[in-house]
Structure 1
Amino acid sequence: MFKQTILICSIVLIGYSLVECGKNSNSADSDSNSNEYYQGVKLSSAERRYNRTCTSDYQCKNYEYGLQCLSGACKCPEGSNWITYTRTYTYKRGQTKTETKRFCDLTFDDLCSTKYNRCNPDLGLTCDRATAKCICSTGAWDGSVCGKFLILNIMNSEEELFNYYSRLTNEIDLQSETRLVSLDSNSVNDKVADDLVNLRLCLIEKSKEIEKISGEGCPNKIAVFIPNQINEQIRQKTFFKNMIGKFFILSEKLSHDLISKLSDVLNRKVKKFQRFTYEFETLQDETKFWIILDLLKYSESDLDSLDLTDPSNNKLKSLFFSSRKFPLINDYDLDILNDYVNLDVVSKITYDFPDLINPNNFNRFKNLTSLGISAKIEHVTADLFSQLENLEILKLIKCQIKTIDKDAFNNLKNLIYLNLNENSLELLEKYIFSNLLKLEKLLIKHNEIYYIDQDVFFWCKNLKEIDLSANRLFKIKSKIFDGNIELETLRIDQKFSKKEIVELNSSTMVINFNYLNKAKNLISLTLSVFNNNLAEIKLESLRLLVIKTSKVPKFRENFQNLQVLNLINVNTFPERCFINLKNLKMLKIILRNKQIIREINEQHFSGLEDLGYFLIEVNDPDPFWLRSLESVFLKLFNNITSSRIVTTSSSCKIEILNCESESNLKRRLIDGYSNE
């Protein structure tokens, strides 16, 4: 009985102890649960360990997460950081799986656990079982990374490296055998066969060399081979220098998709290949494709293998950035250029995107001389081109530009050519071109300009060509070309609505052309004429005149040196308009009133002798009247090379020549004079 009583008491005491232990355990769990959430988000077990209060390394699960108990909290040891590591690997049947873990990225010689191996994998480290410290899995530690691990940025393992180069070698062998079998047996082909065998051995040897140095931890290199699949019987220019294929070396592994696209282009498998033929996953992939393709196409090397791993040797003078899929270029998209191209050699860039996000992208090209942009800018700021001092050609076409800062072009002191066509400019204010002392050609057509300050071109003493056509200029200041004695070509025909044209033709207002006389060396002039007699224009050097006018004016002695005359949109054609044009060699008339052709006679062309080129076009598809007048037109020539009548669905024209072609004759007349 006494023993039973003791036994019952013992059970009660044990039960009480278990209850107390349970309470303590629940209390501990409660403490743990208080650290389970952060800002409403449930934390993983690893995240709950980090920064948790502790008294020993064991409480931090140091082997699993690399944490140590430092100053009463679970922290990473000195020299390592709390990181998120994501690894994607391939398992059976080519399926991939992504694994994400958080831990301290233990560095070289840190204590570790072989079970969890938290040594920094990005440095090529692993946990040594014997010493329980982080060591290099391959190669030697150089203070920042394990040497041989550099290749793991290209290949995930030595086995993958071996398999890759085995496939590459087999592909070279197969391509070589295919070419050898296709050769007929003769003395010439025997020499070709010997060359093929030698080339095959050379490419395979080069492949093994790259495989070896990659495995030994030398700077990243990977060989790529694209077979030459073009039929040798087809006589056409190709990008291959031999019958086997392109063998080139890169510093990173390309995706199968990129290599396949390169192969299709090099082997001419894509008909009508254009800039937008292919779509890419990222803008960086698209940029890589075009750069590598250009390097392969335009390489000056005669070698059968091309090493592209040294950017300083990869010289491309021109780069083109454009994409329909990607609306803009971010800063990091162009960072890959440093790995592929010698940026100091690039002299020309074309940029065609909807938006211009960061203009500083161009500042990395120190020797840029030509820049073309087609992107939304609206306002050209003072710092947009501030670092492009070597720029000689600048094209800002279809950029929706409305305003230009007066200092926008200040640093472009070497600029020769400026194109601002097809924008939304309304004003040309005084100082916007004040520092462009070397500017020779300025194009600002198809804008909305209605006002130009009279001093806007004053500082541009070397201007030879200005195009202000298709704007809305009713009046131009008399002193606008006072300082432009070198000006040779001026286009200043304007765009007006049909209603405005009718009003201008019916009004008594005469537009003053005196401002043109300041350009004393003007050779070529294009303008719109409304109700004017042109008598005030006195330019002895003028050789080419293009007039958009409803009525052909009567030309006086001030145009006696004129050699080329184009009359466009003619509705009225008086007789004896050309009586003073004794030196005229080319005449082109575009009629917009088909009734005129029925009234034309020899008197309309009085004074014209020995033309070299004549064309008259009428907006009537019936060639009857042109044929009936052909004898009149032929009298304008001393000799005739050809005569023809061409009809379309809406018009017909007759063209008579006493020269090789219209363009050649014009070039001889105009360019020959300007070079005198």
Structure 2
Amino acid sequence: MKIPFSILAFQLAFYYWNGIFAMSYTKMFGFYEISSVQIGNYVNVLSTILLGSLNGKSKLECFKTCSLNSDCLLIQFDSSKTCSFYKSIQSPNQSNSYTYFYKKIENKGIILEYTSQVVQDSKAVGSLVITNNVFYVKPFTFIDHLNLSNLDLSKNVITRLDENTFYNLSNLISLYMGTNKIQTINYKAFVPLINLETLYLNFNLFDYLNPNVFKGLKNLVTLYLNANSLKKIELGLFKDLKSLSFLNLNRNFLDKITLEFSSLISLKSLYLKFNQISVIEECSFRNMSKLIGLYLDNNKLKSINMSTFEGLDSLTELYMSNNLINSIDSGTFANLNKIVYLDISKNNLSYFENNLFSNLTSLLELRLSFNQLKTIDLDNQINLQILDLSYNQYNYFKKGLVSLKFLDLSYNPISFVNYSVIDSYITYPQLENLTLIGCQLVQIDSNSLKSLVNLKELYIQLNALNYLNESIFFGLNYLARVTMDKSLYGSKNFSTFYPNINFILI
């Protein structure tokens, strides 16, 4: 049936204005979107008090309902269009399908101003800590604090920073504003802080930063912006931060990495964990040749290509666990020959291109657990010391990794070990820890461990083993701990044969 144009227009207008009213309602009654990890800053998390829920109602209706209940402090929305109302919540859901809104209650905190006793008594100090439930700092409050180098206003309830909040603090080196309720920051708030080196703005409520807010902070070295609600990095936000070495943007709502990061030419550590990042724009790290650590865990990345990490010539640590990665181009790591630690665990990888890791000659630790891998090319990893391949699909593993000290093959479908997992004809392997938990093992040959003369710990519990030859540990003079099933231990008196080994029975 064809819908008359007038009715269709009315329906579209209804949904449009309902959305507009809902957004206005959040501001009118003081609702602010927060992440699940921020909830503990605003409501009690020691117990759960559920006040009720609505199913199939609009967000506008949910905001109205909560605003009329004085006990309602938190609204949880889920993907099934259900909103739940809480006074307190013990275990907020961490899933991306849930969103939370906090209802701001009128602050009863104090106003900090020039005439405040704590301000008057501290004019000559070099360091000042004020945690007196401050909710507003008046402009020019610190006008006479010429010697102040460290100012800590964290753990208050401050909601905004104005243009002259830090007027005359040109000697300030460190500013701590974390764990407040800051929603807005005037773009001139930090202008007087020409010598600032450390700035904490973590655990607040702002979802936007003016692109000029850090203008002039050319000496800033450390910046914490984690646990806020930032959805994007505005054009030019980092352009003046030429000395910045450390940047923490964990636990925001960023959905992509853009060219804005390429202006951070001195950055050494970049934390972007627990965002919504699904895209890394080409050349985003182009000028970041000093970056040492890049932390991208718990995002929504699906693929990594040859240009993703272009420019990161000094990178030594790369974390990408808990993403959705299903493919990595063969040349992705071609220029990352200084990588020491690489974590790509908990993704959707089923294979790697040959020679993917061939240029990673400095690699010491590789973590690939919780994927669907069956094979891997590690022929060039002669320096590798730690390898975690647990929770994959290997039914056979034998590599010439003579420097390897830790190998975890747990929960792979390995039925037989009648060979040495480390293939070495020239020197004895350095392996110290071998973990084969839950591998469906039915047999371990008595000679399969003979070459592992440096082995110290062996874990073989939760398998289908019903027999081990009593000679299996002969010659392993450093072996100090073996964890196995009780039933397997009961079949032999291993303690008599090996009094120096601690047998842990599961």
Runs of 4+ in 1 over 4 A off after TM superposition: 291-297, 309-312, 332-335, 624-631, 633-638
Distance in 2, matches of 1:565 and 1:379, equals: 39
The residue type paired with residue 381 of structure 2 is A
Cross-structure match for 2:409: 547
The residue type paired with residue 252 of structure 1 is F
Cα deviation digits, residues 270-295 of structure 1 (max 9, x gap) = xxxxx7x543333669x97xx99966
CA contact (8 A) 2:242 2:264 kept: yes
SS in 2 for 1:355: coil
Cα deviation digits, residues 202-245 of structure 1 (max 9, x gap) = xxxxxxxxxxxxxxxxxxxx63449xxxxxxxxxxxx999xxxx
1:328 aligns with 2:207: yes
Query: 1:473 deviation in Å?
Result: 1.3
The residue type paired with residue 223 of structure 2 is I
SS in 2 for 1:371: strand
Cross-structure match for 1:576: 445
Cross-structure match for 1:48: none
Query: 1:630 deviation in Å?
Result: 10
CA contact (8 A) 1:469 1:491 kept: yes
Distance in 2, matches of 1:437 and 1:369, equals: 16
Distance 1:484 1:323, change over 3 A: closer
Distance in 1, matches of 2:473 and 2:122, equals: 73
Distance in 2, matches of 1:587 and 1:400, equals: 39
Cα deviation digits, residues 101-136 of structure 1 (max 9, x gap) = xxxxxxxxxxxxxxxxxxxxxxxxxxxxxxxxxxxx
More RCO (CA 8 Å, sep 6+): 2
Distance in 1, matches of 2:499 and 2:455, equals: 10
Query: 1:495 deviation in Å?
Result: 3.3
- Counterparts of 1:333-344 in structure 2, within 5 Å, are 334=213, 343-344=217-218
The residue type paired with residue 280 of structure 1 is I
Cross-structure match for 1:447: 323
Q: Which of 475, 481, 491 is equivalent to 1:614? A: 481
Cross-structure match for 2:48: none
Query: 1:633 deviation in Å?
Result: 5.3
Distance in 2, matches of 1:284 and 1:571, equals: 64
Q: Which of 141, 152, 167 is equivalent to 1:253? A: 141
Query: 1:402 deviation in Å?
Result: 0.9
Cα deviation digits, residues 606-639 of structure 1 (max 9, x gap) = 4452235425266xxxxx769858962575564x
Cross-structure match for 1:348: 222
Cross-structure match for 1:490: 366
- Counterparts of 1:390-539 in structure 2, within 5 Å, are 390-495=266-371, 511-513=374-376, 515-528=377-390, 530-535=393-398, 537-539=399-401
Distance in 2, matches of 1:534 and 1:644, equals: 25
Q: What RMSD, in angstroms, separates the aligned Cα atoms of the two structures? A: 4.5
Query: 1:469 deviation in Å?
Result: 1.3
Distance 1:292 1:461, change over 3 A: closer
TM-score w.r.t. the length of structure 2 is 0.58
1:282 aligns with 2:282: no
Distance in 1, matches of 2:497 and 2:218, equals: 61
Distance in 1, matches of 2:173 and 2:383, equals: 47
Query: 1:315 deviation in Å?
Result: 5.3
Distance in 1, matches of 2:406 and 2:244, equals: 35
CA contact (8 A) 1:569 1:591 kept: yes
Cross-structure match for 2:145: none
CA contact (8 A) 2:332 2:356 kept: yes
Cross-structure match for 1:586: 456
Distance 1:458 1:571, change over 3 A: same
SS in 2 for 1:386: helix
Distance in 2, matches of 1:293 and 1:530, equals: 53
Distance 1:295 1:474, change over 3 A: closer
- Counterparts of 1:60-71 in structure 2, within 5 Å, are none
Cα deviation digits, residues 126-153 of structure 1 (max 9, x gap) = xxxxxxxxxxxxxxxxxxxxxxxxxxxx
The residue type paired with residue 282 of structure 2 is K
CA contact (8 A) 2:321 2:347 kept: yes
Cross-structure match for 2:50: none
1:366 aligns with 2:242: yes
The residue type paired with residue 571 of structure 1 is Q
Cα deviation digits, residues 395-440 of structure 1 (max 9, x gap) = 2111211121221111111112212111111111122123222222
Distance in 1, matches of 2:296 and 2:128, equals: 41
SS in 2 for 1:331: coil
TM-score w.r.t. the length of structure 1 is 0.44
Q: Tell me which structure has the larger Cα radius of gyration.
A: 1
Query: 1:519 deviation in Å?
Result: 2.4
Cα deviation digits, residues 310-335 of structure 1 (max 9, x gap) = 845x654x3332235x2424329956
Consecutive unaligned residues of structure 1, counting only runs of 5 or more, are 1-153, 156-160, 172-221, 227-238, 242-249, 255-261, 267-274, 298-308, 497-503, 505-510, 619-623, 646-651, 654-676
Distance in 1, matches of 2:277 and 2:401, equals: 35
Distance 1:294 1:469, change over 3 A: same
CA contact (8 A) 1:602 1:632 kept: no
Distance 1:471 1:371, change over 3 A: same
Distance in 2, matches of 1:612 and 1:315, equals: 54
Cross-structure match for 1:319: 199
The residue type paired with residue 354 of structure 1 is S
SS in 2 for 1:568: coil
Cross-structure match for 1:379: 256
Query: Alignment length, in residue pairs?
Result: 351
Cross-structure match for 2:9: none
